[in-house]
Amino acid sequence: MPDSFQSRIPTLSEAELRRYAEQPLGYRTEAVLAALAELARRGQGLPERQIQAIQAQLTQRDAARLAEAPWRRHLGQDPVTRRTRVTQITALILGAGLGLAASLWVLTPPPAPNPLGFEPEDSKKYLRQMEMIGGKANVVASQFQTWFDSLWHGRGLPRTVAVLTVVLAGTFWFSTHPGPPEVRPPSQP
């Protein structure tokens, strides 16, 4: 994992740390709070009034961001609660989808053999006639259509449901998973 702001903050100069306090809206909330904590640890802390003003700006910005994505509001305001709910919903999506895929796999009978004993689409004569009528694009389009149709019935359906479940769960996870929990600066004496 690339180095995080938490490992970088202690190495910054006082001027760089003060930049976080002067322009708090240009940085992540966690980074600004870590910079304030580092300044306090070095004995160069800001007045409590200024810290409260910075925290108010950050809270207002975070609330505005949360309001922009109203579906996130239902996951909880607290990062720990949000992380727990996102994990639970992702597990529910995976459990339901993969359970459905498994039950479809068990309940789907194997494909019946063709009464002709072979698939006409697989013969060289058929493919040659298809190519004569519509060219190579016709053959490729026919093969693609056959493959795509196989995804939605028979033994292909459970595989399709499983893949779509994993894609849906991954999309939900990465679009809603909160970042690391916030770091609160210690209160000044």
pLDDT tens digits, one per residue of 141-189: 988 998 899 899 888 999 999 999 999 999 999 888 655 554 555 554 4
Distance CA 111, CA 96 (A): 26
Identify the CA nearest to 163 among candidates 74, 80, 94: 94
Predicted local distance difference test score (pLDDT) of residue 77: 66
Whether residue 1 has pLDDT greater than 60: no
Whether residue 104 has pLDDT greater than 50: yes
**Confidence category of residue 82, pLDDT binned at 50, 70, 90:** confident
Dihedral sign of CA atoms 18, 15, 39, 28 in order: positive
Please give the DSSP secondary-structure letter assigned to residue 180. S
**Who contacts 51 (Cβ-Cβ below 8 Å, separation ≥6)?**
36, 45, 185, 188
Distance CA 17, CA 38 (A): 8
| Average pLDDT, integer, range 80-108 | 92
- Per-position DSSP letters for 99-144, written without gaps between them: HHHHHHHHHSPPPPPPTTSS-GGGSHHHHHHHHHHH-HHHHHHHHH
Percent of the chain exceeding pLDDT 70 equals: 85
Whether residue 75 has pLDDT greater than 80: no
- Residue tagged 């040659």 (tokens): 128
Q: Decide if 30 contacts 79 (C-beta within 8 A).
A: no
Identify the CA nearest to 128 among candidates 114, 142, 113: 142
More confident residue, 96 or 28: 96
Identify the CA nearest to 62 among candidates 51, 72, 52: 72
Whether residue 140 has pLDDT greater than 80: yes
| Average pLDDT, integer, range 46-57 | 89
Burial class for 151, CB neighbours closer than 10 Å (0-12, 13-18, 19+)? middle
More confident residue, 35 or 182: 35
Predicted local distance difference test score (pLDDT) of residue 160: 96
Query: What is the CA 156 to chain-centroid distance, rounded?
Result: 26
Highest mean pLDDT among 94-98, 126-130, 170-174: 94-98
| The token pair that represents 99 in the structure block | 């359970």
